[in-house]
Structure formats: structure tokens, C-alpha cells
A and B are shown apart, each in its own frame.
Chain A
Amino acid sequence: MEESGSAIMNAAAEVRAILVQRAAERLGVETERLRVEDGVVVGGPEDIAYGALVDGETLHVRYEGRGRRADPASYQIMGTSFPRTDIPAKLTGAPAYVQDLRLPGMVHARVVRPPVYGARLAEFDRAAVEAMPGVTAVVRNGNYLAVVASGEYQAVEAKRAAEGAARWSGGITLPERSKIYDRLQASAAEETVIHGTDAGSGSPVKRLEVRYTRPFQMHSSIGPSCAVGLFEDGRLTIWTHTQGVYPDRKAIAELLSMEEGAVRLIHMPGAGCYGHNGADDAAADAALIATALPGQPVRVQWMREDEHLWEPYGSAMVVEANAGLSAEGKIVDWTYDVWSYPHSTRPGGAGNLIAGNLVADPFRLTPPTNIPQPAGGGDRNAVPPYDIPGARVTKHFVTDMTLRVSALRGLGAFMNVFSLESFVDELAEAAGADPVAFRLAMLDDPRASDVVTAAATDFGWDGWTAPMPGFGRGFAYARYKNLAAYCAVAIELQVTPETGEIRIHRAVSSVDSGQIVNPDGVRNQIEGGIVQSASWTLFEEVLYSSDRIESRDWSAYPILRFDAVPASVRVRPIDRPGEPFLGTGECAQGPTAAAIANALRNATGVRIRDLPYSPERLRAVLQDT
């Protein structure tokens, strides 16, 4: 919305101005007399439809800011909920995703990956796989291996056989999972003070010093990555669900030593991806395999473990926070340090593609960038949104990334808001203050105060009491990137100490993402953000041992299922007519996590600073207390 939506709004205003001008000239009247109703210029001696004004020409002009946007009060459609046009087709089986694309003569491919990053294909019994029913090709290039068959299940069976027929050697040793945070903090880092220089000089009477951690977490799309490729007459076409067709094309052209102009990527929807997942890599797989089989359309479908083991994860992160409280219960100093691996390894060059790393002449990863403030990467939302005298915030950017990582919904915002809003809650408690009032006293942006107040009111914050033992409530707020949508979340949950199970009874939120286009679309995004973030917070951690990643399927990487779905999620979108679109999709992730953390503390008296709040961890922590 922020970018494309704003561009379309401005372009529409421009076109309207141009067309009204043309109508005025044709009718010989002043433009001021004319107005537009539903694509027809009215108010003059006769009505002229837009179509008649551009008959027989392509209106292609540079934007010059001739138009003025319509008065928000005049909007007929924007601001009302309307049904999505894609839903009926998707819910009745029409082809809608790249996975559904079938080209005449299409063959099916599967990739055969190394058991761990960096392993080399030492031996491979190619003939055994080629002899299998339906197998039409085995594609090998260095450590890159794929099988192709005329039937899809034949390709699956060939993949399984190829796994048995391959002997891999070497590969990196993964670090011990329990030491990953120490290792991250001990790694060589690029350090940047992103906010303040002086950590305050008040006279604190109390000091809190804490550390929060977040493990590697997955996008883990429900539909594993897929792409279809066709190489014909020296030209390559790829159908892909990548988030960036142009960067991916560039990387694929480099991988194949082809001219970019001879490579075309056509976007088709895939299953939800939540950032940089396997989509670009699957497109590269299709490219590499299709160029080996000229004239034959090739569909590459990753299996579940290809996605789980090889997608770039969301970075593990550590936050250390330290703050002092005055006798009046005010925060007088604040030091906050965040350690993170990169949050984007998108293409980039061919080295940013899995295939680029595996081919005989491998490519090197384009050095990941340290995404700068104000949006930030690992430090996204690391700067407190509150009026705190003397706050210093430092980012420690570690590029030696251990596991493959890249952009996952919200980047560092999830961890920073979890940490920051947990810490603010800890400080409120130490100050003996109500968590909502404590925040409101430090917020001077009225739009921030409005979402906080709205969520607290809808939740019934004042006067809330636990309906029975084991219940707790928690609150959190953030403005995404400190410059986009405002979101507050209040949670009521219940903990069962014997099982370590958390049930979210109510999630109540409010969101201000500027001018609202489709209120139900805003609700859908926030509801989804809350539920997904609850899953990250309660369940998710990539598991690995020294020689492999263990989280190869849903049993080794559990996510939220229906038994853990909240009983109720309420969203109040706050409309800001005429204000810029701020985007809604990523603002709920952080506040939800922190609201759960704060509610857990409220319910049990225990503060857990390490994610996730899995039943096992919770049981262990609660038994210790």
C-alpha cells in the first residue's frame, strides 16, 4: 500500500486532471465547471465518458503532479469493506498458483540437496537412477543434483533413489544450539550506535539489566516452493512466485551466463511466503534444469524437507537492555544492544541462490548489507518510541551467519518489539505503575496514544481481574519501523502449569495504518499477524545438531494448530482519512509477542526472556519456581 497504492492514487489523480482538461477544451468550458462521476466528466453542456476522451490513443505521459487527490470525504469505495475478487476462484479449484500451472509436454523435476550446507557430492550412481521408470534426465553440475521424470510421483521416487545413490562428504559443522547466542555475541561485528550517544545522567534508584533471545525461525510456507521453466530458441522463461522478478532474473542470468534480456521471469502467486523464502531458489532450479532440456517445460516442486532445510531463516538474535528508574518511577537512562545476523540475503548475485552455491564453478554470496536506519534490519524498532532522556541504542551486525538467513516478516522488529516492550513492562512493574498508563505517560505522538487507548478500552483494561487462577493480561505497543503503522495489542491468556500449555482467550488490538482502503483487509492482516506471531512466540525454533538441521518437517518444527488458536481476536482499525498509507502487514508481529510475554508474567509471576514459550520450556521454568 505505501508504495504501489500511493503510486496508483497519484497516477489516478493525474489522469483525472488530464482528462478533465481535455473535456474542458472539447466542450469549450472552464475546468472548474466540470467534475467526474464514475468515469464520466459531467457539469458541461454534455457528458463525456473517459473512454471517449482517449479514444484510439495510449495515454502515456510523465507524472507532473497536475492532479489533486479527491477529498477523502467524497470516497465511494475506499473505506468500505468489499470482498476480494480472487477468493471464489481459489476456493473452488480454479488454477490460481504457480503450482497449478500445466504446460503441454511438461516434465516433473525434484532437487536432491546435500545433507548439510557445504557438503560435496563425492560419489553418485547415476545409472541406477536413470534406469528408473519414467525418469527422463538426471541433471548434475558439481554438487547440484536434480532428477526429471515424465510423471510427478516418478520424480519423487527418483529423488528418493538418488538420495540413496549419492554419497556426500564434508560440509560445515553447525554450532551447538545452546551456545548460539554466546557465539553470536562473540562474533566479529560491525557496531553502530543508531540512537543517542549518552546513556543518560539521571539519578536512578533502581536498575534493571536483562537479556532476551530469539532462535532461528522459519517462513515455512504451507506450499513448498515451485517454479516452471522453459528454454526454447536460446530464450528462457520462468514462471515463479518470487517477490522480486527483476533481481531474481539478474541472478539467474549470471548463474547461466546468459544475457538478462534472454531471461524472462513471469510472476504467479504461490502460497504465502512472508518474506524471502525458497521462491527465488526454486526459480533458479527451474532455470538450471530447463536449460539442460531445451524445448521441454519443466516443473520443479520442492518437497517439504527442501523448504524446511534450505529456505533462509529469520535470524537468531540477542538483546541486552539496561535501564535506571528514578525515585518517581521514571526511566532516566536506557542502554540497548542488539546482536543479529543479516536480514536480507536476497539476490543479489548468483551466489545468493542455492544453485549458485552448488554448481561446479560456484558463485560467492553478495556481502549482505547492514540495512540502515530509520527502517533498519536487525535494529528495526530497536529505538524506543518513548520519551526517554538519554537513551543509547547500539546495533551489532554479524555477517558470519552460521545458518542461511534472510528477510522474514518484520525483520528485526519482531525481536526488538518483543524485547523492548517486555522490558518496558518490567520497568513499569518495578516502578509500581500500570503498564498502559506507564506507556501513555511516555508517548507524545497522539496517534500512538490513540491506538494504545483504543486497545486498552476495547480490552477492558481498567478494572480487569483474573476470572480464575492461571489467567493473566499483557499489553504492548509499537509503531512499525518507528515510521509506519501504529499497533497496540492486549492479550488475556491462561497457563496450565502441569502441561506448560498457554491458551490465548482474547487478543484485542487497534491499528492505525493511515487512510484505510478496505477495512476488512486491514482486519484480515492484523488477525493473521496476531495468530502467526503467536505461533512464532509459543512454538517455533529451528532445531539442529552438529551435522544437520533437524527441523525437516512439521513434526520437528511445530507451529500453531487449531487447539492453540485464540478464542477471540478483535481488531479495531482506526481510519485516518487523507493520511498516507502506512501498510498493515507487518505491524502486529512484535506487539503480539510482547503482549503474550507480559501476560505470561502477569499470569504466573515468571518472566521468560527466551523465545519460544514452548510447553516444554514453560513446564521446566514453572517447575523451577
Chain B
Amino acid sequence: MVAMTVNGAAVSVDADPETPLLYVLRNELELNGAKFGCGLGQCGACTVLVDGKAAVSCILPIAALEGRAVTTLEGLGTAEAPGPVQAAFIEEQAAQCGYCIPGMIMRTAGLLAETPEPNDEEIRAALQPNLCRCGTHMRILRAARRAAGRPSEEDNFAFVGSRPNEEGAPS
């Protein structure tokens, strides 16, 4: 038995302690937010928050979660009352197939919990572990920026150090 909280509710899970959290979330708890993408920690589709930090649930055995607090996409809000990060993604229409987006939202939520006012480089870096195959990246960046309180009309996610006279540019 592993006791933890999931989206604020206490749960005790009776499964092989080696079982990765993802399978428990999707099957025992019937939560759809965390997706199976690779099972290898390579794509971020399964991202959740553990004690407020983004983590890939597909390679996280439940044995490691005793007493810890897990937040999934469902814990951020509902379709009727989406949480701020979800609302930002909806506002930016940041989805094509949408399969990777729950992971992107959780990754953004994790970033904002640690760094409330991230710059564009910090957003890129935070999202680096997560893959999107549909090419929705521009919208995801825009949504993350919006969630960080800096909505913008135009894309300009400049690479640090690439242009002359830019902060961090090689001299």
C-alpha cells in the first residue's frame, strides 16, 4: 500500500510498488490527463507535478511517492472553470491533436510555481523535455508566455545570444 495525495485527495494504492505512477493514474484512478507517450522519460506526455515540481510519471515508481502530493491536469481546473495555465492554452488555441498538451500544461505549471516571471529562454528550457509531433510549438510558447502574464500578439521568442546588441550576445 502506498499512501499519497492526488489532486488534494488522499489515496492509497494497492499495486506492485514498481508500478510507474502513470499506470496508476490512468487505470486505478481513471484520470486521463497524463498520457502514455514513450514510457522512457523521453517525451513528457505523462508529466505531472510531484510536490509542485514537474516529473515524468511513466518512470516514477509509486514506491517513491509515499506521503507525497501528486497533481495532474485534472487538478488544475475543469472545462467549465479552467485553471490559469489551462485558460492560457485555450485562449491561444494551443493544440492540434492535443495529445502532448497536458504535459506541456503541467510543465508550464511547474515552471511558474518555481519561477513566477520566466523569460523566454526559461520557458524554452522548461519545455525542452516535452515533445510535440504536430508542430504546435509556437502556440505552446505563446500560451506559456500568456500564463506567465506576458501575452503577445507576435511571435518573437528570440534565441539568447544570437543577435548583436542583445543581452548575453558574444562580444
Give the interface of A toward B (CB within 8 A): 83-84, 86-97, 99-100, 102, 133, 151-154, 156, 220-224, 269-272, 274, 301, 303-304, 467-468, 494, 503, 505, 520, 524-525, 527-535, 553-555, 559-563, 565-570
Q: Does B148 contact A (CB under 8 A)?
A: no
The DSSP consensus for interface residues of chain B is: loop
B157 touches A568 (CB 8 A): yes
| Separation of A91 and B158 alpha carbons in the complex (Å) | 27
Q: Does B30 contact A (CB under 8 A)?
A: yes
Interface mask (B49-87 → A, CB under 8 Å = 1, otherwise 0): 000000000000000000000001110111100100010
Contacts between the two chains (Cβ within 8 Å), count: 201
Give chain A nearest CB distance to B91 CB in angstroms: 9
Partner of A222, one of B32, B133, B157, B158: B133
Assuming the A-B contacts A527-B135, A562-B124, are A94 and B23 also in contact, with contact meaning beta carbons closer than 8 angstroms in the complex?
Answer: no
Chain A to chain B contacts (Cβ below 8 Å), 30 pairs: A87-B89, A90-B98, A91-B95, A92-B73, A92-B76, A93-B32, A93-B102, A94-B32, A99-B36, A151-B19, A151-B27, A153-B15, A153-B18, A154-B16, A223-B35, A271-B133, A304-B38, A520-B93, A524-B96, A524-B136, A527-B135, A527-B138, A530-B135, A531-B138, A553-B42, A554-B42, A563-B128, A565-B157, A566-B155, A566-B157
Residues of B within 8 A of A92 (CB): 33, 73-74, 76-79, 82, 86
Q: List B residues 96-114 near A (Cβ within 8 Å).
A: 96-102, 105
A93 touches B19 (CB 8 A): no
Assuming the A-B contacts A92-B79, A152-B26, are A271 and B99 also in contact, with contact meaning beta carbons closer than 8 angstroms in the complex?
Answer: yes
Partner of A93, one of B36, B72, B93, B133: B72
Partner of B155, one of A91, A272, A561, A567: A567
Closest 4 CB pairs of A and B: A531-B135, A272-B97, A271-B99, A528-B135
Q: Does B139 contact A (CB under 8 A)?
A: yes
| Separation of A87 and B102 alpha carbons in the complex (Å) | 11
Q: Does B10 contact A (CB under 8 A)?
A: no
Partner of A272, one of B19, B74, B99, B138: B99
Q: List B residues 19-34 near A (Cβ within 8 Å).
A: 19-20, 23, 26-27, 30-33
CB-CB nearest in chain A for B28: A151
A153 touches B133 (CB 8 A): no
Q: Which of A92, A304, A563: most chain B Cβ within 10 A?
A: A92
CB-CB nearest in chain A for B77: A92
| Separation of A7 and B4 alpha carbons in the complex (Å) | 53
Residues of A within 8 A of B137 (CB): 531, 560, 562, 565
A570 touches B98 (CB 8 A): no
B159 touches A529 (CB 8 A): no
Assuming the A-B contacts A91-B101, A272-B96, A562-B137, are A503 and B77 also in contact, with contact meaning beta carbons closer than 8 angstroms in the complex?
Answer: no
B135 touches A553 (CB 8 A): no
Residues of A within 8 A of B136 (CB): 524, 527-528, 531
Q: Does B6 contact A (CB under 8 A)?
A: no
Give chain A nearest CB distance to B146 CB in angstroms: 13
Residues of B within 8 A of A505 (CB): 158-159, 162
| Separation of A100 and B158 alpha carbons in the complex (Å) | 37
Partner of B36, one of A90, A224, A530: A224
Q: Does B171 contact A (CB under 8 A)?
A: no
Residues of A within 8 A of B23 (CB): 151-153, 156
| Separation of A133 and B155 alpha carbons in the complex (Å) | 52
Residues of B within 8 A of A567 (CB): 155-159, 162
Q: Which of A152, A156, A566: most chain B Cβ within 10 A?
A: A152
Residues of B within 8 A of A224 (CB): 36-38
B141 touches A83 (CB 8 A): no
Give chain A nearest CB distance to B63 CB in angstroms: 13
Residues of B within 8 A of A154 (CB): 16
Query: Told that A271-B100, A304-B42, A532-B135 touch, could you supply 16 new A-B pairs with CB distance under 8 A?
Result: A89-B79, A91-B73, A92-B33, A94-B32, A97-B32, A99-B36, A153-B20, A223-B45, A223-B97, A224-B38, A505-B159, A534-B135, A553-B42, A563-B128, A565-B157, A569-B155
| Separation of A505 and B158 alpha carbons in the complex (Å) | 7
Q: Does B39 contact A (CB under 8 A)?
A: yes
Residues of A within 8 A of B76 (CB): 92
Residues of B within 8 A of A520 (CB): 93
A222 touches B19 (CB 8 A): no
CB-CB nearest in chain A for B72: A93
Partner of A223, one of B27, B31, B36, B86: B36
A95 touches B38 (CB 8 A): no
B39 touches A303 (CB 8 A): yes
| Separation of A555 and B78 alpha carbons in the complex (Å) | 35
Residues of A within 8 A of B135 (CB): 527-535
Partner of A274, one of B16, B73, B133, B157: B133
Q: List B residues 108-126 near A (Cβ within 8 Å).
A: 124-125
| Separation of A301 and B35 alpha carbons in the complex (Å) | 12
B155 touches A563 (CB 8 A): no
| Separation of A554 and B27 alpha carbons in the complex (Å) | 25
A566 touches B138 (CB 8 A): yes
